[in-house]
């Protein structure tokens, strides 16, 4: 459960983002504030084009805001040089995408191990860590399968195991359940719920799907580039 007295693991302050310049300029976000707390699931909902991907990309340090400040673990990281960001990303963020983004020629185990080695080139136990993570997401009997031989839900579990590599404090998902049927989507959300509740990770999920709200501690609503409301849910699982 989220604890509003806790220190945010990350926050956005007065963020704006404009893509392009002059007549081509598109303002994707204006004056957006959002804080993320350990142990919570925060959903980000809003219509297509409202700025959700831009928001979560700025939060995950994949994209620089035009104005405003990004804090990670209490530190203002807005003005850091590009070369300082990979280490902060690796320490704090794991990413899960709608399309899974697994390497098709690599097994589940190899996909997870490669991600760990990319985050931590000197990691000596990447394979052991990958086995543990895949077991934790219920895939101990599927570790040596290629993505083509896994179901959508299993692929997304591999992607979640990969995101957990390096033990990040925050898991960010951009419509991670959009390609899944309802039952599988709810299973993936249950898994994420466990990571938040049992491991204290902050989980931020962009979604169009109001059925996911039952898993959320809070729901942030984005409209036309603004965070128009942040609701605390009373029925969090
Ligand atoms: P959502 O994820 O809610 O669909 P996005 O954050 O992807 O919204 O997009 C917000 C707005 O910014 C949209 O108008 C979109 O067309 C625009 N946009 C997103 N990415 C770019 C980009 N790389 N260049 C120009 N405009 C973009
Ligand atoms: Mg999007």
How much is the pLDDT for 5?
64
Residue 117 pLDDT exceeds 80: yes
How much is the pLDDT for 224?
97
How much is the pLDDT for 123?
86
Residue 236 pLDDT exceeds 90: no
Q: What is the pTM of this model?
A: 0.94
Q: Which atom number of ligand 1 is nearest to the Cα of residue 55?
A: 6
Which residues fall within 8 angstroms of residue 92, CB to CB, at 6 or more apart? 9, 10, 72, 73, 168, 169, 170
pLDDT digits (tens, 9 = 90+) for 150-180: 999 999 999 999 999 989 999 999 999 999 9
Best probe residue, ligand 1, of 46, 53, 62 (max atoms within 8 Å of C-beta): 53
Q: Which atom number of ligand 1 is nearest to the Cα of residue 29?
A: 10
Indicate the SS3 state at residue 77: coil
Residue 237 pLDDT exceeds 70: no
CA distance 207 to 220: 11
Indicate the SS3 state at residue 65: coil
Contact 218, 42 (CB under 8 A): yes
If you average pLDDT over every residue of the chain, what do you get?
94
Residue 24: Cβ-neighbour burial (10 angstroms; 0-12, 13-18, 19+):
exposed
Task: List residues near ligand 1 (CB under 6 A).
Answer: 19-20, 26, 28, 46, 48-54
CA distance 213 to 33: 21
Contact 4, 37 (CB under 8 A): yes
Best probe residue, ligand 1, of 21, 24, 28 (max atoms within 8 Å of C-beta): 28
CA distance 42 to 133: 23
DSSP state of 152: H
CATH class of the domain defined by 38-62+85-236: alpha beta
pLDDT digits (tens, 9 = 90+) for 45-102: 999 999 999 999 999 999 999 999 999 999 999 999 999 999 999 999 999 988 999 9
Q: How far apart are the first and last CA of the chain?
A: 9
For the segment 92-120, the average pLDDT, to the nearest whole number, is: 94
Percent of the chain past pLDDT 90, that is, above it, reads 87
**Plot region of 199 (φ>0 → left; ψ -120 to 50 → alpha; else → beta):** alpha
**Residue 3's pLDDT band (boundaries 50, 70, 90)?**
low
Task: Name which residue sits closest to atom 5 of ligand 1, judged by CA.
Answer: 51
Contact 160, 188 (CB under 8 A): yes
Residue 2 pLDDT exceeds 90: no
How much is the pLDDT for 207?
94
Residue 120 pLDDT exceeds 90: no
Instruction: Delimit the domains of the chain by residue range.
Output: 38-62+85-236
């Amino acid at each position: 459960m989220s604890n509003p007295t806790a220190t945010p693991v990350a926050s956005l302050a007065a963020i704006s983002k404009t893509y392009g310049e002059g007549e081509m300029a598109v303002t994707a976000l204006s004056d957006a504030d959002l804080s993320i707390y350990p142990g919570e699931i925060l959903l980000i909902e809003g219509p297509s084009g409202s700025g959700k991907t831009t928001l979560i990309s700025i939060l995950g340090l994949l994209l620089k805001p035009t104005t405003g400040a990004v804090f990670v673990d209490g530190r203002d990281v807005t003005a850091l040089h590009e070369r300082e960001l990979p280490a902060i990303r690796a320490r704090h963020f794991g990413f899960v995408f709608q399309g899974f983004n697994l390497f098709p020629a690599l097994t589940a185990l190899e996909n997870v191990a490669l991600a760990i080695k990319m985050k931590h080139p000197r990691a000596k136990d990447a394979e052991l860590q990958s086995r543990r993570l895949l077991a934790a997401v219920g895939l101990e009997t599927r570790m040596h399968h290629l993505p083509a031989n896994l179901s959508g839900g299993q692929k997304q579990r591999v992607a979640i195991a990969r995101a957990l590599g390096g033990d990040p404090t925050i898991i960010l998902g951009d419509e991670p359940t959009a390609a899944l049927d309802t039952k599988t989507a709810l299973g993936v959300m249950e898994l994420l719920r466990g990571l938040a509740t049992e491991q204290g990770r902050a989980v931020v999920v962009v979604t169009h799907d109001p059925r996911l709200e039952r898993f959320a501690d809070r729901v942030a609503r984005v409209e036309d580039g603004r965070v128009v409301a942040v609701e605390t849910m009373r029925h969090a699982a």
